[in-house]
Structure 1
Amino acid sequence: MTSTWSRKLIASAAAALATIVVGYLGVMFVTFVGYQFAGTIFAQASPYFFESTIITFFLVLILGVLGLFRFRLLALLGGAALAIIGALLGLIVQVATTGQAIDGTVLASIFATLVSLNLVFVVVIALSAAFIGYPVYRLVIRTQASVLAEDRRVALVRMPASNLAEGIVTHLDRTPIDSELADQQWDGYVAAFDAAGWETKEVAWAEQLADSVFIEDAVIVFGDLAVVTRPGAESRRPETVAAETTARELGLQIRRIEGEGTLEGGDVLQVGDTVFVGRSGRTNAEGVRQLRGILAPLGLDVVAVPVTKALHLKSTVTALPDGTVLVHPDLVDDASFFGRHLVVPEREGVAVVALSDDTVLISAAAPQTAALLEDRGYTVVQVDISEFEKLEGCVTCLSVRIR
């Protein structure tokens, strides 16, 4: 499995190379124009900028791995700073190779180039980092994530606790839970993944953690990165320990939501390069901020969404494999916020799990929605999860897909 750091290194190398190549060509072009299109200037300018260009490449590469390309503005400002350092070091190297002593007078003349010839170098490299390196970095990161997704299909699941009936209920009235039926329904849910060609991996059973069956809230996976959450309900925080252990066993890189941040996986919905995060009663602003910082290097944009009518965001919206977001008018205030969307007839129909590009898993409580999706060319697998729905669960809550 490709580690997060190696992915960053590959993306940073591509971004640094693109930045330097375009930047160098840009510098040569500006110099050519500045010297009134004199062809002889290339022979003079190329050696002048060579060392500076090489040094700046390695600086951009190193800082890229450390986060230079997280944001376009950061790439612009960081690119300018690195170009200044690269230009100065490049000239120092040139002077040193001639055997000339580097004294105060020489250093002063080197620094003076920053307001003359090397000013062009700094400006062009900075612009190249922001408008060439930044998009290249994001493209390479996304491409690597897509390749990883094609290599594995693992679903993490967790057997219902003995005290499942004591699970937290927030937006629904508590109703009796048939634990034996819940176990049967969980078996049917897992069997649906097996039948669709997924490998199911059980997280260690937590007999007395009532809500632990809702494994989605404990860990969120993006490619080969697992974000261990910090549930908003304190009683649920012990659930993350075994989830993290399993993620490590699968070779995933680990990041955590820490400190005062709270975040539950049911509030996180990825649609393409956008990650919608519900600002619910379980996920706070600090949790959103931390997740934004974790995902920015992967080229993913985090967008906070208010959630007031259900426990989690994915109890109100999910997305089909083609990116169409499913909504129900009783659960969202403004469906246009999500862009391309489809209104479904049942509240339970907003939650789907993509088993493949053309197959989705949906609750048996949403037969009209199932028919609607079939009419749009999807194969729909229906599972009965009524006992979990009594605890505000849905089909997404019971698994974590690694793909």
Structure 2
Amino acid sequence: MSDQSFRFSHAITRRPGASITAGLRAVDTGAPDLALMLRHHQDYIAALRETGATVVELDPLEAFPDSVFVEDTALCLPEGAIVMRPGAPSRLGEAAEMAPQLRRLYSEVVQVETGFIEGGDILVTEREILVGSSARTNAEGIAELVRLTAPWGRTVREVATPPGVLHFKTDCSLLDAETILATRRLDASGCFAGYRVIHVAEGEEAAANSIRFNDLVLTPAGFPRTAEALDKAGYDLRQIGNSECAKLDGGMSCLSLRFTPQ
């Protein structure tokens, strides 16, 4: 069985800048501590490199406080990269900054021109691309994704993001070709029919935003019951501090673009 949805040769990250304290957030729980965030960010990069992947570290973009969350700027598939059109107006320029980086690594880079869509709403599995409609991703943006991925033979399926949840992947992540980690509230929608689902522990919903990267599962620290369930299921875990990114609604998937360019 193919495993291109979780085995990668490359990742792109961007160091957070001092302007991160002005980042977007649904609820203000205090300004993030930049020094601590940088330490967590280096732990994250070290875990990616541990798998043998090439990790590109981009410099901070002070003009864009949320630019550490690079996943929202693009969708990277083996066939090519798609530059997104973020739904938050203050983040539109981040995608334009990412495009030249992708062109250095990909022979084909295309761009969403209408509507809005962010990478945090897109979950790629071996059989399909799931896209959650949300406050940041609308029907027009999803239609653009369908159009752009059709030449690559990709199937796109629109699903609903739970009310009050920022991104679809806030509540789920891919663990392997057949298994998804998800909150009960998201799984209750039936969007994962046909997959094996492992639920995060009650009260540990933030742990749903983890990533499978080669042989590791990177999960945010501080969610012991979910970590125990993943360990029992046979996954090799790396628990990474995420307290500061969480203040800006960010998680493990948000911090990198993960891909194997052809």
TM-score, normalised with respect to structure 2: 0.91
Structure-2 residue corresponding to 1:319: 174
Q: What code does the residue aligned with 1:239 have?
A: E
Distance 1:164 1:149 in 2: 29
State the secondary structure of the residue aligned to 1:397: helix
Q: Paired residue for 2:207, among 301, 326, 349?
A: 349
Structure-1 residue corresponding to 2:88: 233
State the secondary structure of the residue aligned to 2:16: coil
Distance 1:220 1:236 in 2: 16
State the secondary structure of the residue aligned to 2:186: coil
Structure-2 residue corresponding to 1:395: 252
Contact 1:273 1:299 in 2 (8 A): no
Residue 204 of structure 1: CA displacement? 4.1
For the pair 1:359 / 2:213, whether they are aligned, the reply is: no
Q: Paired residue for 1:196, among 51, 57, 77?
A: 51
Query: What 5-or-longer segments of structure 1 have no aligned partner?
Result: 1-141
Displacement over 6 Å in runs of 4+: none
Distance 1:159 1:377 in 2: 32
Q: Write the deviation string for residues 15-73 of structure 1: whole angstroms up to 9, x where unpaired.
A: xxxxxxxxxxxxxxxxxxxxxxxxxxxxxxxxxxxxxxxxxxxxxxxxxxxxxxxxxxx
Residue 262 of structure 1: CA displacement? 0.4
Query: What 5-or-longer segments of structure 2 have no aligned partner?
Result: none
For the pair 1:245 / 2:100, whether they are aligned, the reply is: yes
Q: Write the deviation string for residues 235-284 of structure 1: whole angstroms up to 9, x where unpaired.
A: 1011012211110111341111113x101000000111211111000001
Report the number of matched residues. 255
Distance 2:172 2:116 in 1: 20
Residue 368 of structure 1: CA displacement? 1.5
Q: Write the deviation string for residues 152-182 of structure 1: whole angstroms up to 9, x where unpaired.
A: 6111000102110111112x33422111111
State the secondary structure of the residue aligned to 2:48: helix
Distance 1:262 1:375 in 2: 39
* RMSD after superposition: 2.1
Residue 337 of structure 1: CA displacement? 2.0
Bigger share in strand: 2
State the secondary structure of the residue aligned to 2:191: helix
Contact 1:149 1:223 in 2 (8 A): no
Bigger share in helix: 1
Distance 1:295 1:347 in 2: 31
For the pair 1:160 / 2:16, whether they are aligned, the reply is: yes
Structure-1 residue corresponding to 2:225: 368
Distance 1:291 1:202 in 2: 27
Distance 1:252 1:284 in 2: 28
Structure-2 residue corresponding to 1:298: 152
Identity %: 32
Contact 1:163 1:210 in 2 (8 A): yes
Q: What code does the residue aligned with 1:374 have?
A: D
State the secondary structure of the residue aligned to 2:258: strand
Distance 1:272 1:218 in 2: 22
Residue 335 of structure 1: CA displacement? 4.7
For the pair 1:273 / 2:99, whether they are aligned, the reply is: no
State the secondary structure of the residue aligned to 2:231: helix
Distance 1:279 1:190 in 2: 30
TM-score, normalised with respect to structure 1: 0.60
Contact 1:203 1:246 in 2 (8 A): no
Pick the structure with greater CA Rg.
1
